[in-house]
Amino acid sequence: MSATFDVGGFNKYAEDVDMIPPGSPCAICKGSKNLCGKDRCPLMIKFYSRAKAKNLINSLDIEGMSPPSIFVGRYGYPKVDIGPLVPPMMGDTSIMDTPELWVGKSIEEFVDFRFSLIRGKHRIDAVDFHKAGKIIDQTRDLALSENPLEVEAAFQKRPVGRLVLDDEVQPFGPSARLKTLDVGNTRYEQHVEKAFYDTDLKATEAVRSLYSDGVLVSKIQKAFSVGAFGIDKNRKFVPTRWSITAVDDILGKSLLSTTKYNPVIEDWRVYDWYQLDNRWSILLMPVSWRYELIEAWFPNTVWNPLGRDVEIISSYEFYNGRKKYAEIGGCYYAARFAVNELLQSEGRQAGAVIFREAHPGYIMPVGVWNVRENVRAALKTDPHRFETLNDALNHVGSKMSIPVNQWIANSGILKDMFTQRRLDDYV
């Protein structure tokens, strides 16, 4: 069962919402920061109300193979809902919760398998969870499992058929409060198991070690969210949304601690990519580390549904990093990690500017994985190489709808580059 979406965009889902004025905070907020002052994002509420579908199950019980997958909520933290995500089907369901396998999937395919995941909810104290009972242990077993697990869940009420959407967390389907939960025999991923039982190992060190051992980033993020890492007394459940960004940030900083001391690359490069009506151009420059992500949201896209102009937002850092959380959100850290992954493999450093255009075909938020995995995929292609910054930017302009001068006007890094070049002319 899948929800049906109008490729014409998000605007029909927000028909009763006031016109978004130029310079509105929607593109920055993305439904998560409540910048408009409302308790809930009116755009997302309208989208939810139109994204109804029939219930996937007709009883209070479900049996299926969890990918494995779990979800830890954030509202009311530290009192939050946790529990499994389970499809009403057997067999190999691993693709349903492995973002590393999703590049190349259409929106329709993505919605089909994500909406099949039914969420069971159980309220806990995320900080003091040790006495919360059997469901806590079973949820953790799912998060640490190496392979899909058979799950039997009984709900207090029939799951509500709503597709839950978020710009940072991949969507899932109906949900209901758990009555009972039974999980099959669990086999932990061996490296994750070792970190789990090492209660003297700091969480950041565990994350770095698991990545070095080849554990998938998405697997590390799930384990992080169920308090599987860290000094024993400091362990706690972490909302899924926060755990995704925390792991991206930890890994990005870890790689950067090495790459920023490597020799710089020798030419100007541009990597081009297109996916889910998102256009990407990734500029790598032969200069010391600096980084920027610039997003352009066209009218009739998720975070600019009723606008008349393109909304452009950016966050950036220079060699010494940034102290405040990036305005652009978790995608900033996901892309920074992906860039440093490439630089680490080459033993180089570079300046990086990532240009992203979201066009009207991008009709729903799908999660931070979209940025991480598509930047990773782009950086595996053969780049176009140039001798000057101007030549590289002209290429970017040929691939994007927005003129180069508009990108420069909205870029802290590029404006600094051109200012520095002018100063160098007088030296």
Band of residue 164 on the pLDDT scale cut at 50, 70, 90: low
pLDDT of residue 211: 99
pLDDT of residue 31: 65
The DSSP secondary structure of 327-393, one letter per residue, reads TT-HHHHHHHHHHHHHHHHHT-B-EEEEEEEE-TT--S---THHHHHHHHHHTTSPPEEESSHHHHH
**Which residues, including other chains, have CB under 8 Å from residue 313's CB and lie 6 or more apart?**
27, 28, 294, 295, 297, 327, 328
Final residue of a structural domain among 117, 151, 183: 183
Rounded distance between C-alpha atoms, residue 123 and residue 142, angstroms:
17
Full domain range(s) for residue 136? 11-15+25-183
One-letter amino acid of 236: K
Residue 80 domain-assigned (yes or no): yes
Residue 208 domain-assigned (yes or no): no
Q: Which of 25-39, 60-74, 203-217 has the lowest mean pLDDT?
A: 25-39
Pick the closest to residue 356 from 392, 309, 318, 313 (CA basis): 313
Q: How far is CA 246 from CA 38, 79, 125, 174, in A?
A: 27, 20, 20, 27
What would the mean pLDDT of 359-369 be, rounded to a whole number?
A: 86
Could you tell me if 171 and 297 lie in one domain? Answer: no
Residue 42 domain-assigned (yes or no): yes
Residue 197 domain-assigned (yes or no): no
Residue 211 domain-assigned (yes or no): no
Looking at the predicted structure, is the pLDDT value of residue 358 above 70? yes
Looking at the predicted structure, is the pLDDT value of residue 57 above 90? no
pLDDT of residue 40: 52
What would the mean pLDDT of 350-355 be, rounded to a whole number?
A: 99
Residue 236 domain-assigned (yes or no): no
Looking at the predicted structure, is the pLDDT value of residue 142 above 80? yes
Could you tell me if 179 and 316 lie in one domain? Answer: no
Looking at the predicted structure, is the pLDDT value of residue 269 above 70? yes
One-letter amino acid of 375: V
Could you tell me if 298 and 406 lie in one domain? Answer: yes
Could you tell me if 277 and 413 lie in one domain? Answer: yes
Residue 125 domain-assigned (yes or no): yes
More confident residue, 77 or 25: 77
Q: Is 52 exposed, middle or buried (0-12, 13-18, 19+ CB in 10 A)?
A: exposed
Looking at the predicted structure, is the pLDDT value of residue 63 above 70? yes
Final residue of a structural domain among 152, 168, 183: 183
What are the tokens at 111? Answer: 């919605």
Band of residue 1 on the pLDDT scale cut at 50, 70, 90: very low
How many domains does the chain divide into?
2
Q: What percent of the chain has pLDDT over 70?
A: 83
Residue 223 domain-assigned (yes or no): no
- Enter the pTM of the model: 0.86
Rounded distance between C-alpha atoms, residue 305 and residue 290, angstroms:
32
pLDDT of residue 2: 32
Looking at the predicted structure, is the pLDDT value of residue 49 above 50? no
Could you tell me if 176 and 282 lie in one domain? Answer: no
pLDDT of residue 188: 96
- Quick: pLDDT tens for 289-333: 999 999 999 988 877 877 889 999 999 999 999 999 999 999 999
Could you tell me if 179 and 301 lie in one domain? Answer: no
pLDDT of residue 370: 96
Could you tell me if 276 and 146 lie in one domain? Answer: no
Could you tell me if 161 and 281 lie in one domain? Answer: no
pLDDT of residue 106: 87
Mean pLDDT of the chain: 87
What would the mean pLDDT of 123-149 be, rounded to a whole number?
A: 91
Could you tell me if 412 and 278 lie in one domain? Answer: yes
Final residue of a structural domain among 183, 209, 228: 183
What are the tokens at 234? Answer: 């400091």
- Quick: pLDDT tens for 179-221: 999 999 999 999 999 999 999 999 999 999 999 999 999 999 9
pLDDT of residue 56: 52
pLDDT of residue 108: 78
